[in-house]
Amino acid sequence: MWGDPIAHSKSPGLHAAAYRVLGLDWEYGRRQVSAEAFGSAYDELDASWRGLSLTMPLKEEAFRVAVTRDRHAELTGAVNTLLLGDTTAGFNTDVGGIVDALAEAGVARAASVRILGAGATAASALVAVSEIGAERADVRARRPERAAGLNALGERVGVAVRSQPLDAAAHPVDLTISTLPSGTVLDERTATALAVDGGALFDAAYAPWPSSLAARWQEGVVVSGLGMLLHQAVRQIRIFRHGDPLVELPDEEAVIAAMRAAL
């Protein structure tokens, strides 16, 4: 796992647990790599490397070095998994991780969605909700002008996107997805307004938990980012094992159980 910062990452434990069940003699570690240092670090990799997991701020850097990219990566402009070999293949497993985490919590469909934040994770969230039937997405950001890319992405995936400030008047939605940074504390009036008629809540943050927003949620399912972390990692391991995020692992139920215990 490469990123900056990286010390907090739970991914090494998740992958190690899966490799033990699968009987793979693989190692998965963490390395602090800045966006500026990514190019030189990538060029140093040799044939002993199977792939890379990337977190912020390297998802755009990884997108640029990928020779081929899956649909989710192409849509979002972000790659969090690189499969190395004769050519470098890039994947975005965050989209599938969100879909899988929602399905596990019983949220298989949502026609109207509110997305908090306008960064790379928000783009993955928008693609994810398009795959569970979203028709409308209300994007909330401190600087709504930053959501221009999400407006264009919405057109590509068939979701009507409206960008507004975080404290704009709220309307009922089926699902709220927060991609705000861990530890974000919204003012009481804004948080309360978002929590009323906000439907189910998926919060990409998981430390500390409950998040400030989750603690205020009044009704509906509440899902932490640990579900996304787990399921995007499952898809990463499928890629490292099979080269395809949709090909299940041998005895995948046991793999997932071991990974969940590692959280």
Q: Are 190 and 129 in contact (CB under 8 A)?
A: no
3-class DSSP state of 71 = helix
Q: Alpha-carbon distance 56 to 33, whole Å?
A: 10
Q: Alpha-carbon distance 247 to 245, whole Å?
A: 6
Residue 144: CA atoms inside 13 Å, Cβ hemisphere, count? Answer: 12
Q: Alpha-carbon distance 177 to 190, whole Å?
A: 15
Tokens 């899988």 belong to residue: 100
Is the N-terminal amide bond of 57 cis, ω within 30° of 0? yes
Q: Given phi > 0 = left and psi -120 to 50 = alpha, else beta, which region is 128?
A: alpha
Cβ neighbours of residue 179 closer than 8 Å, sequence gap 6 or more = 115, 116, 117, 119, 121, 122, 125, 204
Active site residues: 59
